[in-house]
Chain A
């Protein structure tokens, strides 16, 4: 049974400002059934906000003619066959494809078998065919809407009044494995997203650089009195849920901050500086800096008492209704080095096999370009999974037929009906994470709509 908020806050109200390591209201409750794990594993979600056009992230090479028929040079949304970075995919019948030219650093990982592509994935409530889609059978609500699809990718529970994300729900179940942890299982450098929020757990949100610091803290009597009063006040809400909700977030934050801040100082550990130096330059983009925060916390995993962790980072700007080529050069130019530097860190830290990074986005974009040299909201797209444990060097799922009004087009502009669901991706990752079947069902209620064989698609 979880401790309810009131009991928790009464406890915290009675304590002074002394460190309260590990005594969260939402943690450490299921010790009776705690399963011990000896190894460390982390999942890192990179969300590309805006709906990333992944028709230009993974371009057909063998079937380039199909691509080039619509994405012509004149359209100014097309990549040339010469510039894509080519690879073959055994699971796609040995056909060859190419990465966006700015993803050379990730293509290297594909060639090393440490990166996999998941083709034509998207939000589904169940596997459906085109006839069912057009009949509206089990069709996800509000497709093509940014806010709804971001929520669906992250939450996988459309219409649920209690908002939670599958990352958060997995974190709900990981409490036992992280007995004695000093920071929450879920850490976000992305603010509070649905993905991070569980039914019983909230994320620890850290800024892009530095730690979570409270002004006016000090060792002198008056500062101590002030801090103690602040904490006591958090428990005086008289049962108002808004009050208690806010108090819990702040109190959890202060407690986590006490533990994590020593590891979040602006000074970079040498191993992270080395890993994030590519071709002699320290990678310093916003996204790279988010990954550095994660690296800092992973470095401190023993001290922070975590064995299973979730992280979330994000990069926005993908809603390329115009000037897609220029915009994507910039965006992929950030994603490639940042993801690669982070992978390099896991190698240098000896935990490449213990950390898996995966990408998500609201949706793919229309195959045909628009008048503004961009593309518009669409549906199924291609995503990446990266890590030492990934069975990489291949493309999972089924690459769509790039034909307008063709067998995979839900409309007439090239919005592909996904053949792989987000639940399947999440289920596969949760399996690798060692979650038992009951916990996977809890996190992914819709996964039951797929056959047993389809619930783990095997890329990791």
Chain B
């Protein structure tokens, strides 16, 4: 029974679930729940209570989220699965491991016993903790953007060597009804991906690119698809989605 265990676990779980940079007070509140879950009789090490404490803490919600150091880069496996879910995608799961491997996170194949990330990795030149940046570099940053592009614009074809393979397909069709209104389209996409509107400059940038795709007097199916995909690609590849806040 070591006094360090609570804070150690609290920090690691907060980093995985909420933000890389919890305040010491946040860590302590969670560590206290680890030490004593408040039940009768009290239990030490109740992880269900710990996770509840992490997610319902005031620091996981509300005003503190605007702190400049709040947030966490979505790790590849969760980014991929989250994107597929958010876009009503379907997948047989094959090839996703390879895609995540391109982003330096092959599932179950962490390079060492120390898992994929260093818990105390910092943003270059700062003391801002950002464990997920351990595997985010100039090569994997481009690979991540490319993966979003490929999932949105192409999907993954079924593997001919696999029985009953169906590949991976994201859906953008649910946004096509808004294609004629770039503002509405952008807002619907951002609502689905980040739970609300983009900040003004970002919103304008997406709208401008969407509007670069001309619409006939009666928009064709292809035009609507292209506009929907443009909006989805730009929002999903942007750090508004990639950095979870």
Contacts and interface: CB of A to CB of B under 8 A. Distances in A.
Given A221-B212, A226-B234, A245-B124, A146 B137 contact: no
B205 interface: yes
A253 B20 contact: no
A205 B138 contact: yes
A250 B142 contact: yes
Contact of A242 (B71, B150, B230): B71
Interface stretch (A58-66, A118-126, A227-235, A390-398): A227-235
Interface stretch (A40-48, A192-200, A294-302, A444-452): A192-200
B230 A226 contact: yes
Interface residues of B, number: 58
Contacts of B69: 241-242
- Of residues B118, B138, B245, which shows the largest number of chain A Cβ atoms within 10 Å of its Cβ? B138
Interface in B72-124: 72-73, 104, 111-112, 114, 118, 120-124
Contacts of B245: 240, 242
Given A163-B120, A242-B130, A191 B135 contact: yes
Contact of B137 (A203, A238, A247, A316): A203
Interface in A94-141: none
Contact of A229 (B145, B205, B226): B205
B80 to A, nearest CB: 16
Contacts of B226: 222
Interface in B134-192: 134-142, 145-146, 149-150, 153
B139 A253 contact: yes
Contacts of B233: 216, 226
B142 A214 contact: yes
Interface in A277-306: none
6 closest Cβ contacts across the A-B interface? A253-B138, A225-B212, A192-B137, A229-B209, A236-B202, A205-B139
B49 interface: no
Contact of B138 (A230, A238, A242, A252): A252
Contacts of B240: 233, 236, 243
A202 interface: yes
19 contacts: A161-B120, A161-B127, A163-B122, A191-B139, A192-B133, A192-B136, A200-B125, A201-B124, A202-B124, A202-B137, A205-B137, A205-B138, A232-B201, A233-B202, A233-B234, A236-B240, A242-B71, A242-B243, A249-B141
Contacts of B136: 192, 246, 249
A219 interface: no
A214 B125 contact: no
Interface in B43-76: 68-73
Interface in A229-269: 229-230, 232-243, 245-247, 249-250, 252-254, 256-257
A125 B145 CA distance: 41
Contacts of B122: 161-163
Interface in A209-224: 212-216, 221-222
Contacts of B145: 214-215, 230, 250
A407 interface: no
B242 interface: yes
B73 A246 contact: yes
Contacts, number: 169
A258 B225 CA distance: 30
- Chain A residues touching B, range: 35 or more
Interface string B199-213: 101100110110011
A353 B145 CA distance: 40
Contact of B205 (A197, A221, A232): A232
- Of residues A197, A206, A216, A253, which shows the largest number of chain B Cβ atoms within 10 Å of its Cβ? A216
A215 B72 contact: no
B239 interface: yes
Given A201-B124, A242-B130, 4 more contacts: A161-B127, A202-B137, A214-B142, A246-B242
B128 A247 contact: no
A246 B209 CA distance: 22
B125 A199 contact: yes
B237 interface: yes
A147 interface: yes
Nearest to A248: B124
A362 B71 CA distance: 32
Contact of B126 (A162, A203, A229): A162
A203 B125 CA distance: 13
A233 B137 contact: no
B199 A236 contact: yes
B5 interface: no
A434 interface: no
Contacts of A253: 138-139, 141-142
Given A233-B238, A233-B239, A245 B134 contact: no
A204 interface: yes
Interface in A169-207: 188, 191-192, 197-207
Contacts of A316: 111
A257 B239 contact: no
Nearest to B129: A161
B124 to A, nearest CB: 5
Given A146-B112, A161-B127, A225-B209, A243 B71 contact: yes
Contact of B141 (A146, A215, A246): A246
Nearest to B114: A147
Contacts of B125: 162, 164, 198-200
B208 A246 contact: no
B239 A246 contact: yes
- Of residues A163, A188, A204, A235, which shows the largest number of chain B Cβ atoms within 10 Å of its Cβ? A163
Given A191-B104, A249-B138, A249-B141, A242 B73 contact: yes
A241 B133 CA distance: 12
A163 B121 contact: yes
Given A221-B212, A243-B239, A216 B149 contact: yes
Given A199-B125, A203-B137, A147 B112 contact: yes
B146 A214 contact: yes
Contact of B128 (A192, A233, A245, A250): A245
A252 B243 CA distance: 18
A234 B239 contact: yes
Contacts of A197: 124
A94 to B, nearest CB: 42
B138 A203 contact: yes
A25 B55 CA distance: 37
